[in-house]
A and B are shown apart, each in its own frame.
Chain A
């Protein structure tokens, strides 16, 4: 509820309470879509279940189109929307670590809590590992601070770096997403797995 809290239309506590409700709804939808199953999640790496890819691409496109049209109608000022700053080195290193953890554990941080909440033991073990990793990172921060802060690119948008307008980039991304969905369907037929 960013704009409401920043502009002090709602208090910090109301903000947290809304975040709590949204979090519960998010977790419920994740569970209902089968995202609490590590086998289903890991399926994206083996090709037998591409639901993760489909869901995230659909989510990205929906949010992208929503933001662009809201901006077009003047309902939202896109310049005030927070864009995570890009630290290139740590983004790559973090992506590798996260990807390896995802393949090995079958969860990403959010879905591990989703799994643990319905009693999945592998998800609970994953969460323990998650806290170990966080603690290790914090304890050794001095060692990798330089790597962590290297190559700060500010908060660039891909469309800006490509010299395209946001709208043209959005259209390209939609076409890519639809192509990915077709590829995902093909992969699911090519690498089927009976029970998981």
Chain B
């Protein structure tokens, strides 16, 4: 037989196999269970409400809040600029664009952190980056930003600074309490640190 025929007999079946295999088995979960466990253990997904509030006040365009609660709850109350992606529709094609990008920080939130964490885990396993969870959920958001409690007078300066920041954010974001700020404390709020996981470098090459 001619070598050309041998080649054809060899590579056409290979092509048929690769064409018949569904696409998504070629792209399995991007994180192994061990990697996932490490992320869970280091709690890299959590972003503090102060950080989110700071970004909201500064109108940071890279922040994308995602409400994973039901539509009813979303309509009753949602954070400024948040989009609504109910957890049931998380894998819907129409939301791929929201997740499949490297520019914005997607921050999931729900009432507690449970549903948001589920959404985070799923999207992380699909290999999407820049996915975070609002620490403490909306419940903690109310305590921390909307109705911050004035610290005890014996508290540290840091506590007061945090309180000042929260009050400022609360007012800027139209929160519940518009009380006078503690005037005896001039320190500015510590700048929240944004934790970002380093991206994997791509292998560069070419001929």
Binding stretch for chain B, among A72-80, A117-125, A128-136, A188-196:
A72-80
A78-B26, A178-B8 known; A171+B204 contact, CB < 8 A: no
Q: Count B-side interface residues using an 8 Å CB cutoff.
A: 28
From DSSP, what is the main secondary structure of chain A's interface residues?
Answer: helix
Do A74 and B23 have beta carbons less than 8 Å apart?
A: no
Q: Are A79 and B30 in contact (CB under 8 A)?
A: yes
Contact with A along B179-207 (1 / 0, CB 8 A): 00000000000000000000011111111
Residues A167 and B205 in contact in the complex (CB < 8 Å), given A78-B27, A174-B12: no
Nearest-Cβ distance from residue A98 to partner chain B, whole angstroms: 12
C-alpha gap A166/B21 in the complex (Å): 10
Contact residues in B for A166 (Cβ distance below 8 Å): 18, 23, 26
| Count of A interface residues, CB-CB < 8 Å | 31
* Contact (Cβ within 8 A) B30 A65: no
Q: Which of A72, A168, A174 has the most CB of B within 10 A?
A: A174
Partner of B19, one of A61, A74, A170: A170
Residues of chain A within 8 A (CB-CB) of B14 are 65, 69, 174
Q: Which of A2, A79, A171 has the most chain B CB atoms inside 10 A of its CB?
A: A171
Question: Is A174 a contact partner of B26 (Cβ separation < 8 A)?
Answer: no
Q: How far is the CA of A7 from the CA of B32 in the complex (A)?
A: 16
Asked if A72 meets B203 with Cβ closer than 8 Å, knowing A79-B127, A167-B26, A174-B12, the reply is no
Assuming the contacts A72-B21, A82-B204, asked whether A181 and B4 have C-beta atoms less than 8 A apart, the reply is yes
| Interface, chain A (partner B; CB < 8 A) | 2-3, 5-6, 61, 65, 68-69, 71-72, 74, 77-82, 84, 110, 165-168, 170-171, 174-175, 178, 181-182, 185
10 contacts between A and B (CB under 8 A): A2-B204, A68-B26, A72-B18, A72-B26, A79-B127, A81-B202, A167-B21, A167-B26, A171-B12, A185-B4
6 more CB-based (< 8 A) A-B contacts, given A68-B26, A174-B15: A72-B21, A167-B15, A167-B26, A170-B19, A171-B18, A178-B4
